[in-house]
Amino acid sequence: MKRAFLFDTNIIRNTGLKSFFGSEHELKKLSTIGKIVIPQTVIMEIKNHRKKHLEGQKKAFFKNELFNIYCLDKTKNDLDVDVDVENKIEILNKRISFEYEVCDVTRNDFLNEAREYAIKNKPPFDQGNDKGFKDAIIYFSILDWIESNNEYSPIVFSQDGRLSQAFKTKNITVIETINECHKFIWNDYNIDHIFQRFKDHESIENGDITKSSVKKALYDSVLNLRNDWEIIIGDHIVILDYLSKEILHILDKIKMKGYINDLSKNNSLSSIHDCIIKLDEYEYFTDEQIEILEKEKENNDKIKSLIDDKYVDDFYFKLGEMKQQK
């Protein structure tokens, strides 16, 4: 059965103007294995949140004392920014690099149902009061889409307790983060086949491999900065391609940790230089390893003194490229 991923506002909200949605690169990856569905109310709410955020930033900007210093015209504070903001938001919307479907309430008796839910304090309305009309629109928008598209297996992303409770009463899977989605993604693949690939790989000791350990490792996997699967198997970090699940890299966790630790322990420039040359032999580092290596560069005066060295400069340039890849 095909997958559908449906989103509440708090998962994909984004106040800035670098992208329309938050976690947009993760949404793009999810779109390759299932349909992304976003309620119209969520899109409207994201636009409204962003507009309020920018208006607040604008007021603070024009109150800054620099305007007095540079004799800038404070009447600019009275300008209507709605046109510029709306235009920028629409540009960002057109630049979204994945396809998604917009859903909305389609049932004719929505108001009667929502009123009944509110009076009886049924979720998604708050317990003890009738707050939650916006959540009710999101709830029925998603529910109507699911009921009209029963060829899909839906997963709803929400961090709202009452909204999540409402979906769970309908036996709809609800999760709070994209990482939690991994176990459902892996269930769509033949774990026995992946287990055999790991077992047959010459770089992984068979003692580290059991079906249960592989299954747990897959469920605990994370997407790294490059959006590949990062999986811990015994003393190895196994990197799998996001779509094909083919093995890209197998890293010796213990050996790499030793080289990284040696950077801070060694006192001589030559020893530090040798450590970096050894680390440069690796074509892949985990997000955590990249963070440690970058902090070491910032805090270690000896590494700073070697930064003009070609090997050291090339190594940290490679780290920077790894970090920027999506």
pLDDT (tens digit per residue) in 178-215: 777 777 777 767 778 788 887 787 777 666 678 888 88
- Residue 133: per-residue pLDDT: 92
Quick one: three-class SS letters along 147-216? HHCCCEEEEEECCCHHHHHHHHCCCCEEECCCHHHHHHHHHCCCHHHHHHHHHHCCCCCHHHCCHHHHHH
- Residue 326: per-residue pLDDT: 43
Q: Distance between CA atoms of 108 and 271, rounded to whole angstroms?
A: 74
- In CATH, the number for domain 2-183 is 3.40.50
Give every strand in the sheet of 34-39, ordered side by side: 100-103, 34-39, 2-7, 152-157, 173-175
Task: Tell me the pLDDT of the chain (326 aa) as tens digits.
Answer: 688 999 999 888 876 667 888 878 788 888 888 899 999 999 999 888 878 877 777 777 767 776 666 655 555 554 454 546 677 777 777 788 889 999 999 999 999 999 999 999 899 998 877 789 999 999 999 999 999 999 999 999 999 999 999 999 999 999 998 777 777 777 767 778 788 887 787 777 666 678 888 888 888 887 776 678 888 888 888 888 877 888 888 888 888 888 888 887 766 888 888 888 888 877 778 888 888 899 888 888 888 888 888 888 888 888 887 776 54
The pLDDT tens digits for 266-284 are: 668 888 888 888 888 777 7
The answer to whether 10 and 161 are in contact (CB under 8 A) is no
- Residue 69: per-residue pLDDT: 66
Tokens representing residue 55 in the block = 């208006």
CA dihedral for 31, 33, 35, 38, sign (positive or negative): negative
Q: List, in sequence order, the alpha helices (H) in 32-81.
A: 40-62, 66-69
The DSSP secondary-structure symbol of 128 reads: T
Chain-centre distance for alpha carbon 37:
16
- Is the pTM of the predicted complex or chain greater than 0.75? no
The DSSP secondary-structure symbol of 78 reads: G
Chain-centre distance for alpha carbon 225:
9
Question: What stretch(es) of the chain map to CATH 3.40.50?
Answer: 2-183
CA dihedral for 270, 276, 279, 280, sign (positive or negative): negative
Pairing of strands 229-233, 236-240: antiparallel
| Partner residues linked to 250 by β-bridges | 238
- Residue 141: per-residue pLDDT: 97
Q: Distance between CA atoms of 68 and 195, rounded to whole angstroms?
A: 67
At 200, the amino acid letter reads D
| Partner residues linked to 38 by β-bridges | 102
* Host H or E run for residue 292: helix 287-299
**Mean pLDDT of all residues belonging to the chain:** 82
The answer to whether 160 and 187 are in contact (CB under 8 A) is no
**Shortest CA distance to 99 belongs to which of 171, 181, 38, 39?**
38
The answer to whether 179 and 223 are in contact (CB under 8 A) is yes
- Residue 81: per-residue pLDDT: 46
